[in-house]
A = this chain, B = another copy of it.
Amino acid sequence: MNKVYKSANQAIEGVKDGMTLMVGGFGLCGIPENSIKALLELGVKGLTCISNNAGVDDFGLGLLLKNRQIHKMISSYVGENAEFERQLLAGELEVELIPQGTLAERCRAGGAGIPAFFVPAGFGTEVAEGKEMRDFNGKPHLLEYALTADFAFVKAWKGDTHGNLVFKQTANNFNQSMAMAGKITVAEVEELVPAGTLDPNYIHVPGIFVQRIFEGKGYEKRIERVTTR
């Protein structure tokens, strides 16, 4: 068993035009910086990206947007990225906006073999259009379907050679549920350690969900809104 890859370029091997990718992170926090840059270099086009946001104009998924590699975004939030909003309003980019919790749960469901489930979010709004509705306990709910991806790109703080992942603080966000939902899940980590180093009681993503892992380099970890007291 060898899940360890030497570089992002090797780890993303197999990504092709038109594929569906999940990309972890919330804003610029916990995004797979190395994998995104490798995708930029690879130049694959026509991608459908499932990611809560699309980075900012010049960082994160914003780089792929700018380079017109993305055909469709499935996200919950556009704000903070002027290019994203511009492409959306100009109709140059297909965008499916999904409530944030529904998005996270649809990813988890994709990994957990649950093809569909009911949630209340979005009832009565345009999100409900065309969706099956049903009342539970007198409250209307929408049927939402699982999401999966050809590749899921996630970023963790530490990972081991078995693919076990540990996140730091709020850098987990969507990485955990997306790691579960990739047909091939590629994890990049700040520190790659030998199996047996991480405490088995505190693994956020067990290795069974991770097919490839590599130690990333040169993390910028940009902050969108430095706020101090």
Residues of B within 8 A of A118 (CB): 114-117
Query: Known contacts A167-B201, A201-B169; is A117 also within 8 Å of B117 by CB?
Result: yes
In chain A, positions 135-175 with a C-beta closer than 8 Å to chain B are: 136-137, 141, 166-169
A206 within 8 A of B: no
- Stoichiometry, copies per complex: 2
Interface size of A as a range = 20 to 34
Residues of B within 8 A of A201 (CB): 166-169, 202
From B105, B115, B168, contact of A136 by CB (8 A): B115
What is the bound-complex CA distance between A114 and B201, given in angstroms?
27
Residues of B within 8 A of A166 (CB): 201
From B113, B119, B168, B169, contact of A114 by CB (8 A): B119
* Inter-chain contact A114/B117, CB cutoff 8 Å: yes
* Inter-chain contact A105/B114, CB cutoff 8 Å: yes
What is the bound-complex CA distance between A167 and B201, given in angstroms?
8
